[in-house]
Amino acid sequence: MSVVEDVAEVEGFESALAPWWSFTKTVLAAAALALVADGRLSLDALVHGRPFTLRHLLQHRAGLPEYGWLTAYNEAVANCETPWTRGELLRRVQADKLVFEPGQGWAYSNVGYMLVRELIENAACENLSAALSSTLAFSGWVACGFGEAVEERAWDCCHVLGLRGG
């Protein structure tokens, strides 16, 4: 991996942190679809007994709420507070209450992609960093904190790194 600085590529920064923000959703979708192709995930099976599917999650059509709408979340990130746990984030966003019936609307949802992450980890029987390396044949995902257990963090470090100036 190399880092781009002022349009010029800087060699030798293999371990540099790179804030990805929402680009991670593309990577997660690619990994999830690779697991679907391998038969380890299903696009159309209900997820954990909820009324939505992986397909709904990937398309932001599951009806899940978005934590970016929460004033408390935005204040916590702006103040560099310790990230909420997964459980705290789901409680605060009221993830048990859908904004609309799955497939009947569209709403950007980081919560949905947090569930996609969990599906990937469970299907691959690995943490996300290892799962991305094995499903997408690429290493280096740990640079953005993907190696940490999902239960230990609620918002991904890329967002926090970006707001803290990297």
Q: How far is CA 122 from CA 46, 113, 118, 130, in A?
A: 15, 14, 6, 12
Mean pLDDT value across the chain: 78
Give pLDDT, residue 129: 84
Q: In which element (H, E) is residue 73 found?
A: helix 71-78
Q: What is the pLDDT of residues 54-101, one digit of tens each?
A: 999 999 999 999 998 899 999 998 998 988 899 999 999 999 999 999
Of all residues in the chain, what percent carry a pLDDT higher than 70? 69
Give pLDDT, residue 7: 40
pTM score, two decimals?
0.73
Give pLDDT, residue 138: 62
Residue ranges covered by each domain of the chain = 23-163
Give pLDDT, residue 152: 42
Q: What is the mean pLDDT of residues 34-47?
A: 96
The answer to whether 131 touches 59, Cβ cutoff 8 Å, is no
User: Looking at the domain 23-163, which fold is it?
Assistant: Beta-lactamase (3.40.710)
The answer to whether 59 touches 106, Cβ cutoff 8 Å, is yes
- pLDDT band at residue 157 using 50, 70 and 90 as cut-offs: very low
Of all residues in the chain, what percent carry a pLDDT higher than 90? 51
Question: Which residues pair with residue 3 across a beta bridge?
Answer: 10
